[in-house]
Amino acid sequence: MTARVLVTGGAGYIGSHAVLALLDAGIAPVVLDDLSTGLREAVPPGVPFVQGSTGDAALLAGLFRRHRVSAVLHFAASLVVPESVARPLDYWRNNVANTLVLAQACVEAGVRRLVFSSTAAVYGSPPSPLVDEDAPCAPINPYGASKLAAERALADAAAAHGLSVVALRYFNVAGADPAGRAGQRRPGATHLIKVACEAALGKRPAVEVFGTDYPTPDGTGVRDYIHVTDLARAHVEALRHLMMGGGPLTLNCGYGRGHSVLEVLRAVERASGRPVPAHFAPRRPGDPPALIARADRAREALGWRPAFDDLDRIVASALTWEGREAATQQRQLLQA
């Protein structure tokens, strides 16, 4: 039997794109997802799928043995900042406790390679919006705090048990597979570019813009948006680094340029040729004014070369995906 790479959360947005990146690279994946937010149809045909939790030690032991798992890409997590503020215990349970169970399963099964899905939220609200990996970590919401705790637990496991970990700190992920094989499928998703595309297509009444009084050029929050396909390929490069004997790394994944909320809305209007209605609301708790990656280390350490480093290309891929989803839903309604 072929040894496989376990992709936890592989039925979710980023995880499903990582599965495609593995397949494109000739690497065999197996997906574990509890489908609390992921969708079964996001897993490509022919890829083994197991429904369950990363907190289920017995399930993990059997899965590692049955599929001869050689490495793990760990995406399974809770990741909505406002929700983390309202439900912190759920975030600590899923993002930290379940990660500990997964790490223990790796140690017991002799799996020594793990790529961890982390976040720029570990930096909190830094004094400078442009941050590198040496910037102080001071998360301002439970989501960021839980991810930082998981990073530190995995680093301790690496030191004690020989587990090699690459932690990738994502900035704002957006877009869809350029070939149309995957996209953001989750109903009610909160990603700005998806929400704006849905508003442009009439699938939502408007975009809520949270905060217009930030110390930024137009008063709205500024973020570094990275195309999901570039991010998925970064995971494959991180996996290759570990397979070639490379040691632990913590790396930012972004492009090094920020765009405000209003700039994103204008990009969606350019791509769609339609206005994007917006409602302006107060700041949300836990949102920093600006956060932009200094991501030179990922390029140097992994040889990672982004292919979609352009806001208009990111938006165009997301809009194309949303249009296809809308057309599919319309056909299903007509056939019902």
pLDDT at 246 over 70: yes
Rounded to 5°, the CA angle 149-154-160 comes to: 130
Q: Could you list the active site residues?
A: 143
Residue 82 — pLDDT band, cuts 50, 70, 90? confident
Residue range 66-79, pLDDT digits in tens: 999 999 999 999 98
pLDDT at 288 over 90: no
Please report, for the chain, the start and end positions of each structural domain, with discontinuous segments joined by +: 4-174+226-253, 192-223+256-300+308-335
- Angle between helix axes 261-272 and 192-200 (nearest 10 degrees) is 40
For residue 278, the cross-strand partners are 207
CA dist list (Å): 247 to 18, 159, 167, 238, 295: 21, 11, 11, 10, 18
The whole-chain average pLDDT of the chain stands at 94
Architecture of domain 4-174+226-253: 3-Layer(aba) Sandwich (3.40)
Say how many C-beta atoms besides its own lie within 10 A of residue 170's C-beta.
22
User: Domain 192-223+256-300+308-335 carries which CATH code?
Assistant: 3.90.25.10
Q: What is the mean pLDDT of residues 167-188?
A: 92
With CA atoms as reference, report the closest residue to 172 among 292, 92, 285.
292
Lowest mean pLDDT among 55-64, 108-117, 160-169, 287-296: 287-296
Q: Which amino acid is at 41?
A: E
Lowest mean pLDDT among 30-39, 89-98, 178-187: 178-187
Q: What is the pLDDT of residue 334?
A: 65
pLDDT at 4 over 80: yes
Q: What is the pLDDT of residue 264?
A: 98
pLDDT at 112 over 70: yes
Q: What is the pLDDT of residue 132?
A: 96
pLDDT at 141 over 80: yes
pLDDT at 104 over 80: yes
**Phi and psi, residue 177, nearest 5°:** -50, 125
Q: Which residue has the tokens 């799928």?
A: 49
pLDDT at 333 over 70: no
pLDDT at 307 over 70: yes
Q: What is the mean pLDDT of residues 90-103?
A: 97
pTM (global) more than 0.75: yes
Q: Which residues contact 227 (CB under 8 A, 6 or more apart)?
A: 173, 174, 175, 306, 307, 308, 309, 313, 314, 317
3-class DSSP string for 310-322: CHHHHHHHHHHHH
pLDDT at 330 over 80: no
Residue range 213-228, pLDDT digits in tens: 999 999 999 999 999 9
pLDDT at 308 over 80: yes
Q: What is the pLDDT of residue 331?
A: 66
